[in-house]
Structures are given as C-alpha cells and as structure tokens.
A and B are shown apart, each in its own frame.
Chain A
Amino acid sequence: MTAKHAALAEKFIADEPRINWHDETLWFVREKRDKAAHGLPEWEQLREWGSQIKNHTLSNLSNYLKEFEEKAKANGIFVHWAQDGAEHNKIIHQIIQKHKIQKIVKSKSMLTEECHLNEYLQQHNIEVVDTDLGERIVQFRKEPPSHIVLPAIHLKKEDVSETFHQHLGTEKGNNDPQYLTEAARQHLRNKFVESDLAITGVNFAVAETGGFVVCTNEGNADMGAHTAAVHIACMGFEKIIPRAEHLGVFLRLLARSATGQPITTYSSHFQKPRQGQEIHIVIVDNGRSKQLGREDFRNSLKCIRCAACFNTCPVYRRSGGHSYHTAVAGPIGSILNPNLDMKANADLPFASTLCGSCSNVCPVKINIHEQLWKWRQVIIAEGYADASKKIAMTAMAFLFSKPKVYRLAGKMGRTIMQVFPFLTNNKWNVWYKQREMPEPPKESFRDWYLKNGKINKNE
C-alpha cells in the first residue's frame, strides 16, 4: 500500500488560506445541522427510529426487494438488476441504444459515480450532461465531485468564474455567485427541454408501494425526469425502506443532517410513469451483498448519504474530498471502499483520528469510527498496511498487552522527549507535519494517580 491519502492531502493543504476556508465552511454547515437538530426535542429519538428501521430493513432485505420489484412492475416500471458497475452501465447503454437516444441529462447520483457511468458512456461517444450546479462545475473541469452533497466545495468562486468563462462565455472576472448561477440556469434549461433521457439517483425506495423518492434543492431531477421520454433511476439495493410512513422519519432526518435545512426544496415521489413515458429502475449490488455478510461492517449499508460525517470530520475538513481518491469520500467512504477493493483503499481507514464525531452526528447511528478501527485490524491482518503503520500497530498491540513494558516505554519516552525534543520534532516524523509536539508531561497519569488518587482517598 502507498500512503495515498496522506500524499494527496499534502497537495490540498499546500494552499493554507484555502484549506482554512474549506475547514471553516464545512464546520459552519455542521453548526447549521446542530441548530436544526436542536429545534426538535425528539431528535435523538428520531435518530434511534431511523437506525432501527434500517436495522429491520437489512434483516428482511431480500423480501423487501422482492416486494418492491413486484409493486414497481405492477405500476408499469421496468426493473433491472446489476451485479456490479459494469453490468449497471451496460443496462443503461442498452436502453440508450434501443431508443436511439442522443441527449442525456443526469441529476446527482453517487451510485453512477461509483460505477463510472459517465466515463463508460463517453467511451461509446455518448455525452451525459450533469445538471446539479456543483456537478456541472466539476464536470466542466474534468474533476470528480469532492463531497457527496456539495460536489464543488473544494472550489472558490474565482475558480467557478474562470470555468464558466471558458465553457459558457460568462464575463471574465465576474465572480458573483448569483450571476454565475443564472448563467448555468439558462445553459441547463436548454439541455432539459431538449433531453430524451433523464438519469436520476434514488434517495428512498418504498417496498410497500413500489415507488421511489428523489430529493433535490435545485429542482434538476424533476426538470429532467418530467421532460424526457425515458427516466432511468439508479439505486444501490440498500435504499429500500419498508413503508411510505417511514419516509416521515427519513425526510425529517436527511436535510437537517445534511445542510441544516428543515427539508429539501423538492421531495419528489415517483410512482408510475406519466403517459407515454418509460421509467426504468436499476438495482445494483456492486459489493453490497458482501458487505452485508461482514458482521462488523454491515451497518454501513444503513447510510442515507447525508454527509454529516464529512462535515464534522477534522480529517476530511482539512484534507479535502479528492484525497480519498474514491467516489464516496469522508468517513463513510472509508468504510465502504475497503469492501470494494481492500488493497487499493487500504489507506482510507487510517485517514481518521477516530475521534468519534462522525458516529455522534450520523442520523442512522452507524458506528463509523468503530468500523474504521476494525478495518485497520483487518487490513493489517490481510497484509495490506504499509510497513511503518504495520510496525507501529504491532508495537502498540505488544505494549498494550504488557502493562509493565508499557509503563517503562512511557517513562523512557517522556525522558527522551524532554532531553532530546528534536528526536520527535523532526521532518522524518510525519506526525510533526503541520503540528507542534506538546510538551511531554513530567509524569504519567498512572504515577500521578498513584500519588494524588491515594491522597484524595485518605481525605
């Protein structure tokens, strides 16, 4: 394994004012989430309900999927199943060929990113226009999204202005977000009304009704789906929920956790195709059934992709989404991606301080930080960790299992840091990058406790 996350993060943190802006902006989003959550006295109960509904769904998933398929078909929707990304892309390609489709618009779908649909279609000379503003910006720049909810959060308005100047002919140097958004609105309206096919994601698919829900603030999913003659909705199979009434729980949680809004502007419930329209649903596995079988990690399939864990994560905020080199970045990405390819993503579970903030904000109570820690054990056991991490982890395991040696090592460490501070504060110690080492304490907590704890007890 190469220390990919660390190396990629190094590029991002080279621009200090920008990384500070990134850090503060995402923290601001996290604070908005807190405010929205505190507005509901039942918030913690709501998270618990969300978590339990998802636990139940995972425990009865095959039945719910069958029920969903049956109802959706009865509603006149075509249902397809895809084992992996390649099959997903092929199914969509066949629909495109069958209808001789030329113009395609796509709203946000992290699944199509995961399957690399755009690249696949491009290789077959088919162009897809991403219509979410943030996604259109990164598409023009030939970059992947850096955040699952805020795809262009790594960019400043000057960057967007330059990109739009090149691609849409906007005034050079006009950085006004209002002006730039208006330019994108006009540009994409033309794409919508001309489109033959709209591809969307799915936020929730309801087993009981065979319908599905798509949430956006911009209205781009609807502008596409209600104009084009064909609508393809792509979903990982974990998007299933049992009943329509459960939407009440999840729609209350989703936007509050994501951006601090009480609800997204549009929560669209698709049930049947409109007259003359075709709706297709592609249900994708791509490693999910394997993750379901990993007892320690199956909870990650409860995720509703709100990105609260990104916004709160001190490592994500300071290293940026691209340093995770995968479609879904952030803490949740770091537990989903090793399942897909352990070797290529062995660095990700280490891109965390294990502070636990992610688990605290997660609306469906996924034990994210514990899973990160567990992935580290698996990755080391499977031999995918890089040498320095492996030595450190093995040494730590040894120290923790031998209390006497641990105490001695601590004593030696403190003495060495006091007498020779440069031994830890040097450029070979990667921990020292961007950090000052704290003054070592004069005595260990144990020594302190043995002295003071006893005194207090005697009082």
Chain B
Amino acid sequence: MTTRENILNAISSNQPNLVPLPIIYRTEVIKYHDNYIQFKSVLESIGGKVELINNLTMLEENIKVDKVNNIFIINTITAIGEVSVPLDKLTGLELEKLEKVYIKGCLGVAENGAVWISENQMKNRLLPFICQHLILIINKEDIVATMHDAYDKIDVAQNGFGVFIAGPSKTADIEQSLVIGAHGARSATVYVVE
C-alpha cells in the first residue's frame, strides 16, 4: 500500500461517526451603523491610513509628480495613469527597490480593516508585499461588515492567488514592542472613493 492509502485508511477507520455542519445564522453576526467609519477606525488603529476621496484626479497628479522625481513606482490601475506591461514577469531582484505601488482592491471589511485583492488586480503577486509603500483604492459601497459578507462576494478559486491585507507589515517579536515595517510594506494607505 502507498503512504497515501495507509493514511486515508487509518483515517477512515478512526474517524468518528458523521456529525452535521452548523448553520451560520447571519442574523447573529454583528452589523455596523456605518461600515466606512468602522473600517477607517479599525484600520487606523492597526497602523493603516484611510482617506475618503471624491474622484481620482489627486492620485493621477501624485503619480505624475513621482515619475518626474524619478521615484520607482508601479501603477496597476488604468483609471489613474499608464500601466506598464508586462508586470507579471518582474522578479524579486528587479522589484527590490520598488517604492510605491497602486492597486485596486475588490472590497474592504469593516470589522478588521482588511482589503481583498486578487491576482488580476495586483498583476504580479509580489507587488503588494515587496513595495515600501502600498496604496490601495476601493469604492465606498464595496465595504462590507464582516468576513462572512466578504466571502459571499469573492470567489477565492477564480484567480491563482488572492490576499486580505490589513495595514502595513508589522512584528512584535522583540519584547512585544510593535514595529511597523517587518518584511512587507512600511505603510499602507487605502483611498476610499465615494
């Protein structure tokens, strides 16, 4: 017998009798009066920045200024500027000095400040992690209350990769003192478009 069969047989003979899955009654799950306000206050409490904007002009301007100043930035959103292609082949060595990246998020989660981004939004899986400063853009109406609502809306199997990101990279491994900027982005800003 192969190891696989050995393990599966041992499990089948040792597992208990079938018990049902629970029903997740969504009426019991917390709701917020204002998802945006909750999202902002949670994300700011974990080191992220949140700004409400009416249109994308300011972001377009920021990108232009950074490019003029020769700052290494990557934009993945056509609505705010040119998207250089192809992005997916860029390697860690090439992206090591990446300063800023702009990515459109699919949705935000009020209860924990997380933003879901899928592979087709980030273009290259490394971008949201290797950059020094991460800039995410979501629509205000796409902020849901909890993770249950988030999984209703996203399809994790649709893309090869997807991630919830809640604020900047952090660690407290030295004496439990919080340090922002462990291996990933040192800052995370979410622009919420009204």
Chain B residue numbers with a CB within 8 Å of A244 are 151, 156-157
Q: With A and B bound together, what is the CA distance between A157 and B160 in angstroms?
A: 40
A193 and B28 form a contact (CB under 8 A)? no
A292 and B160 form a contact (CB under 8 A)? no
Of A1-9, A214-222, A395-403, A424-432, the segment with at least 4 beta carbons within 8 Å of chain B is A214-222
| B184 CB contact (under 8 Å) in A40, A222, A259, A292 | A222
B175 and A42 form a contact (CB under 8 A)? no
Chain B residue numbers with a CB within 8 Å of A310 are none
Q: Known contacts A133-B174, A244-B151, A252-B147; is A265 also within 8 Å of B3 by CB?
A: no
Decide if A101 is an interface residue (CB 8 Å cutoff).
Answer: no
A42 and B30 form a contact (CB under 8 A)? yes
Q: With A and B bound together, what is the CA distance between A274 and B157 in angstroms?
A: 14
Decide if B63 is an interface residue (CB 8 Å cutoff).
Answer: no
Q: With A and B bound together, what is the CA distance between A273 and B125 in angstroms?
A: 11
Chain A residue numbers with a CB within 8 Å of B96 are 189, 193
| B12 CB contact (under 8 Å) in A62, A83, A219, A237 | A62
Q: With A and B bound together, what is the CA distance between A192 and B10 in angstroms?
A: 39
- Nearest chain B residue, comparing its CB with the CB of A152: B173
B161 and A60 form a contact (CB under 8 A)? no
- Give chain B's interface secondary structure class: loop
Q: Known contacts A42-B29, A219-B182, A223-B129; is A134 also within 8 Å of B168 by CB?
A: no
Residue-wise interface mask of A (24-44) relative to B, using a CB-CB cutoff of 8 A (1 in contact, 0 not): 010011000000000011100
Chain A residue numbers with a CB within 8 Å of B28 are 42, 45
Q: Known contacts A133-B182, A237-B11; is A265 also within 8 Å of B166 by CB?
A: yes
Shortest CB-to-CB span from A86 to chain B, Å, is: 11
| B161 CB contact (under 8 Å) in A209, A268, A295 | A268
Residue-wise interface mask of A (268-312) relative to B, using a CB-CB cutoff of 8 A (1 in contact, 0 not): 111111110000000101000110110100100000000000000
Q: With A and B bound together, what is the CA distance between A223 and B163 in angstroms?
A: 13
A56 and B183 form a contact (CB under 8 A)? no
Q: With A and B bound together, what is the CA distance between A29 and B176 in angstroms?
A: 9
A192 and B183 form a contact (CB under 8 A)? yes
Instruction: Give the interface centre of B109, B113, B172 by most chain A CB atoms within 10 Å.
Output: B172
A247 and B151 form a contact (CB under 8 A)? yes
- Nearest chain A residue, comparing its CB with the CB of B17: A59
Chain A residue numbers with a CB within 8 Å of B29 are 42
B18 and A271 form a contact (CB under 8 A)? no
Instruction: Give the interface centre of A40, A58, A81, A181 by most chain B CB atoms within 10 Å.
Output: A181
Chain B residue numbers with a CB within 8 Å of A275 are 88
| A53 CB contact (under 8 Å) in B13, B21, B88, B156 | B21
Q: With A and B bound together, what is the CA distance between A156 and B176 in angstroms?
A: 10
Q: Known contacts A177-B174, A262-B42; is A292 also within 8 Å of B182 by CB?
A: no
A28 and B176 form a contact (CB under 8 A)? yes
Residue-wise interface mask of B (113-126) relative to A, using a CB-CB cutoff of 8 A (1 in contact, 0 not): 11000010000011
23 residue pairs A–B, Cβ–Cβ below 8 Å: A25-B175, A29-B176, A41-B30, A81-B4, A83-B7, A181-B182, A189-B183, A209-B156, A218-B170, A218-B182, A219-B129, A220-B182, A223-B129, A252-B147, A265-B166, A265-B169, A266-B129, A268-B163, A269-B163, A270-B161, A271-B156, A290-B10, A298-B16
Q: Which 6 A-B pairs have the closest CB atoms?
A: A219-B184, A293-B14, A262-B112, A218-B182, A134-B173, A289-B10
Residues of B within 8 A of A (CB): 2-4, 6-8, 10-22, 24, 28-30, 42, 46, 88, 91-93, 96, 109, 111-114, 119, 125-126, 129-130, 146-148, 150-152, 156-157, 159-177, 179, 181-185
Other A-B pairs beyond A61-B11, A177-B179, A219-B184, 14, CB < 8 Å: A29-B176, A59-B17, A60-B18, A81-B4, A81-B7, A155-B175, A160-B175, A185-B181, A220-B183, A222-B163, A225-B125, A226-B129, A262-B42, A266-B129
